[in-house]
Homo-oligomer: A and B are copies of this chain.
Amino acid sequence: MPHPVIEQIAKADKAIVAEDFETLMGIYTEDSILVIEPGRHAVGKDAIRAAFEAIAVYFQNGLKVHQQGMEVLEAGDTALVLANTVISAPNCPEVIRKATYVFTKNTDGVWRCSIDNSYGHEIIGKS
């Protein structure tokens, strides 16, 4: 059985492609952080939702995302995901990002994304 975090990522990818931001936001913690691009972050669900809406427009409402290989490392209520995240859009040829995601398990037993950094090590030196 796949790790619950893997299922959450599959759900998030589907929601991003469908531009279903209501479902997407259910997968993030209240105080989560999203790397919009190296050096630029959105913090908190409202800001992250706004960022995803802008990203959808930027990619001409044709963003596709899926994962090509993932590994989960779990310690207590924290999980780190290493993923090869494949992204494409009408105005963006396919790129593979070495993404890093952190999920935390809440008292309700649900894993939610607290740190969403699809750029991985590309952010070093960019803040």
Q: Report chain B residues within 8 Å CB of A82.
A: 100, 117, 120-121, 123-124
Spell out A's residues near B (CB within 8 Å): 29, 31-33, 35, 41, 43, 69-71, 73-76, 78, 80, 82-84, 98, 100, 102, 104, 114-115, 117, 120-121, 123-127
Distance in Å: Cβ of A35 to nearest Cβ of chain B? 7
From B73, B76, B78, B121, give the contact of A84 (CB < 8 A): B121
Distance in Å: Cβ of A98 to nearest Cβ of chain B? 5
Q: Chain A interface mostly helix, strand, loop or mixed? A: strand
B102 touches A80 (CB 8 A): yes
Given contacts A78-B114, A104-B78, contact A124 B35 (CB under 8 A): no
Q: Given A71-B126, A73-B123, 12 more contacts at CB 8 Å? A: A35-B73, A70-B124, A73-B115, A75-B114, A78-B114, A78-B115, A80-B115, A82-B100, A82-B123, A82-B124, A83-B124, A84-B121
